[in-house]
Amino acid sequence: MADLVAAARAARRHAFAPYSGFLVGAALETADGQVVTGCNVENATYGLTVCAERVAIWKAMSEGHRRFMRIAIVADADAPTPPCGACRQILWEFAGDLEVILANLFGETGRFRLADLLPMPFDRRLLKT
């Protein structure tokens, strides 16, 4: 787990957050043990900003990964900083009930299952096909 948090901490250094100053890094572990990282990238409109968790998912998907075990998310905050609602939805759709490890610059601040952070997800089960 320490390696995953370290990878997220390193990814955070690449974040582009000139508006909020809130740098976030994520490290997503694939089912075969590979680690794919992401960082947040802000935009002046804020609405087009992409969070670290989504960057990691998109990178992993674009590299052919389809199954995931856990994600570590690092932010410079004392309190645990969970994924935003949009990231929870994307993580659920593409990674399912993975383990979510939250950390800051000094250590782990929390550990959850995604189902605990998103107890009633919207997904393909609700779509009539």
Q: Amino acid letter at 25? A: G
- CB-based contacts of 28, cutoff 8 Å, min separation 6: 35, 36, 37, 38, 53, 56, 57, 60, 68, 70, 71, 95
Surface-to-core class of residue 41, CB atoms within 10 Å of its CB (0-12 exposed, 13-18 middle, 19+ buried): middle
Among residues 29, 42, 53, 63, the one annotated as catalytic is 53
Active-site residue, 63 included = no
Active-site positions read 53
